[in-house]
């Protein structure tokens, strides 16, 4: 096998350097334009926590943002990320755009690492031009499959770290670069302080280490190195401000009651109503069809290493179907297999005919179009009256001092926005602790929904002494097309008419409370016992 030379296939031909630059530059602009137009519901509380950490010099341990759990202990498994988010966001007018650029750069870099590993480790003898053509097409298919999950969101760090881990173990196994294992514990130390998904990293390390120790023929000292790296990686994740409390959060609170998996959109199955993730479904269908073609055409050969990779990738595929949150991992991990099959089933003549057209379309349409679009995006999404930021309604609430002293019921998706934009006000819920167990046996998120259910809302409004409600207007979900309706109703037994009925909370508020403010984004209802000055 040829000696590994990092990045050599990019500069072996000057044309490749320019062509790949165009590909990844276009990828960056697609991701960047998407990130700055989208205000993640959790972004507000992330930067609020970052600001509090800087002002107090301590990580948060006691709840102060929400009144139902005020005074309870809590663990911020993203404390270091929140610190950096606030530092960058508050650096100036372009802070949000800088974060969008960093997010786009992380995923572009992740894609680049996948491409390099595929070419230099998995497909070292592939024709460079053929690899470029199909690799580029697949790259853009992947980028668009990621967009529904992408934004200025901390979960993208887990995508990046997972690919880094896979690369380290792939290089150590195939190229005997065992010194790379020394970086695994350092990576896990950083991951454990940046994001709670470090347990996914520990799972990957465990699988890779067991494979290297028991399935691979390696010297005893090498096997010991894998074991030592694995043990240190586990222990080093305790080196956070929360120590064992972080493990308790992930192993206990997130696993004892998993109702949030069926109530938060990004955790829902791929096929969940009221609509199907069509592009994600297309991506998965494409991979499965391509894999079957590879098997039937005998392009794919099974050995110990390839079998391990297939099981790993298809395991992630199963998780992606069960929960949309795992799709990005599958997107990156499926790239080498998809490209391997494509390179072997398509003739070279396709490359000569289409490669120039592909580059011209990419350079003269995608990049200029995205740059022009970026110019139309406002710098501060917090002060725009859009679905994710009820700015005008907030101005109304802040203009009446009475609201500051009254208990508020707010939408789950607006909690982070209110945490940042109305910091002096304790709210009902935000996105930090959906799985938190309450004294009555419900999780926090389940308790939130009891205030929207017809048989419990009146009692719960009185229990929490709710005096005003901030809520978006009642809108039906998008109308399903004939094909989509047929699939949902006949294959998944979903009653779309029932699903699109107005929630009981709207009729309850209209009939019993006073509407004191409304616009296209938000409505404010006030308890009849309260009068505004």
DSSP letter string, 47-79: HHHHHHHHHHSS---B--SBSTTTT-B---TTH
Rounded average pLDDT over 343-358: 71
Listed range (66-80, 175-189, 273-287, 326-340) with the worst mean pLDDT: 273-287
Rounded average pLDDT over 412-424: 96
pLDDT the model gives residue 6: 42
Average pLDDT, whole number, for the chain? 86
pLDDT the model gives residue 302: 73
462-504: per-residue pLDDT in tens?
A: 999 999 999 999 876 656 566 666 666 666 666 666 666 788 9
pLDDT the model gives residue 493: 64
Q: How far is residue 142's CA from residue 139's CA, in Å, rounded to a whole number?
A: 5
pLDDT the model gives residue 323: 83
Listed range (94-98, 136-140, 236-240, 404-408) with the worst mean pLDDT: 136-140
User: What 3-state DSSP class applies to 126?
Assistant: coil
Q: How far is residue 394's CA from residue 427's CA, in Å, rounded to a whole number?
A: 13
Rounded average pLDDT over 109-113: 95
Do residues 400 and 533 lie in contact, with contact meaning Cβ atoms separated by under 8 Å? yes
pLDDT the model gives residue 140: 87
CA dihedral 516, 519, 522, 523 (to 10 degrees): 20
Please say if the pLDDT value at position 79 is more than 90.
yes
Higher-confidence position of 216 and 334: 334
238-260: per-residue pLDDT in tens?
A: 999 999 998 888 777 666 666 66
208-223: per-residue pLDDT in tens?
A: 888 887 766 778 888 8
pLDDT the model gives residue 53: 97
Provide the total of helices (H) and of strands (E) in the chain, helices listed first.
25, 6
Enter the tokens of residue 45: 């509380």
| Highest mean pLDDT, choosing among 186-195, 312-321, 441-450, 485-494 | 186-195
pTM of the entire predicted model: 0.89
**Residue 394: which pLDDT band, with cuts at 50, 70 and 90?**
very high
User: What 3-state DSSP class applies to 495?
Assistant: coil
Please say if the pLDDT value at position 362 is more than 70.
no
Alpha carbon separation from 97 to 92, 102, 231 (Å, rounded): 10, 9, 40
């Amino acid at each position: 096998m040829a000696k590994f030379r990092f990045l050599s296939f990019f500069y072996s031909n000057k044309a490749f350097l320019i062509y790949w630059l165009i590909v990844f530059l276009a990828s960056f602009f697609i991701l960047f334009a998407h990130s700055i137009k989208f205000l993640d519901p959790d972004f507000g509380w992330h930067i609020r926590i970052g600001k509090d950490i800087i002002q107090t010099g301590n990580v948060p341990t006691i709840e102060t943002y929400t009144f139902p759990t005020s005074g309870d202990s809590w663990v911020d498994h993203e404390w270091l990320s929140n610190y950096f988010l606030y530092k960058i966001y508050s650096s100036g007018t372009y802070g949000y755009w800088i974060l969008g650029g960093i997010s786009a750069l992380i995923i572009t870099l992740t894609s680049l690492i996948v491409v390099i590993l595929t070419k230099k480790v998995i497909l070292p003898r592939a024709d460079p031009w053929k690899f470029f053509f199909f690799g580029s097409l697949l790259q853009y298919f992947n980028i668009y499959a990621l967009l529904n999950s992408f934004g200025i969101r901390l979960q993208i760090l887990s995508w990046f770290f997972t690919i880094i881990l896979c690369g380290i173990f792939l290089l150590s196994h195939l190229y005997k670069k065992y010194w790379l294992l020394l970086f695994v514990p350092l990576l896990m130390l950083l991951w454990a302080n940046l994001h709670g998904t470090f347990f996914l990293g520990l799972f990957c390390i465990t699988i890779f280490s067991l494979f290297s120790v028991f399935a691979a023929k390696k010297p005893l000292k090498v096997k010991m190195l894998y074991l030592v790296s694995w043990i240190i990686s586990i222990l080093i994740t305790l080196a956070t401000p929360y120590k064992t409390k972080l493990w308790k959060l992930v192993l206990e609170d997130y696993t004892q009651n998993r109702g949030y998996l069926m109530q938060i959109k990004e955790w829902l199955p791929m096929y969940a109503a009221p609509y199907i993730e069509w592009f994600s479904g297309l991506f998965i269908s494409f991979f499965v069809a391509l894999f079957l073609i590879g098997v039937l055409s005998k392009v794919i050969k099974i050995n110990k290493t390839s079998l391990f990779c297939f099981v790993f990738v298809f395991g992630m595929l199963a998780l992606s179907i069960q929960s949309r949150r795992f799709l990005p991992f599958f997107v990156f991990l499926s790239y080498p297999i998809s490209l391997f099959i494509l390179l072997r089933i398509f003739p070279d003549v396709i490359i000569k005919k289409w490669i120039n057209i592909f580059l011209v379309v990419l350079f003269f349409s995608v990049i200029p179009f995205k740059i022009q679009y970026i110019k139309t995006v406002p710098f501060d999404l917090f002060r725009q009256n859009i679905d994710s930021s009820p700015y005008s309604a907030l101005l109304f609430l802040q203009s009446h001092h009475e609201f500051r002293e009254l208990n508020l019921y707010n939408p789950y998706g607006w909690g982070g926005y209110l945490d940042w934009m109305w910091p002096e006000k304790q709210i009902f819920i935000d996105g930090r602790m959906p799985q938190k167990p309450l004294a009555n046996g419900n999780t926090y998120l389940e308790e939130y929904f009891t205030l929207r259910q017809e048989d419990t809302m009146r009692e719960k409004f009185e229990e929490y002494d709710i005096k005003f409600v901030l809520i978006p207007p009642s809108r039906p979900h998008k109308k399903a097309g004939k094909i989509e309706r047929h699939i949902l109703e006949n294959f998944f037994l979903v009653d779309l008419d029932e699903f699109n009925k107005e929630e009981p909370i709207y009729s309850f508020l209209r009939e019993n409370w006073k509407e004191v403010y409304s616009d296209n984004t938000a409505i404010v209802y006030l308890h009849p016992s309260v009068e505004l000055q």
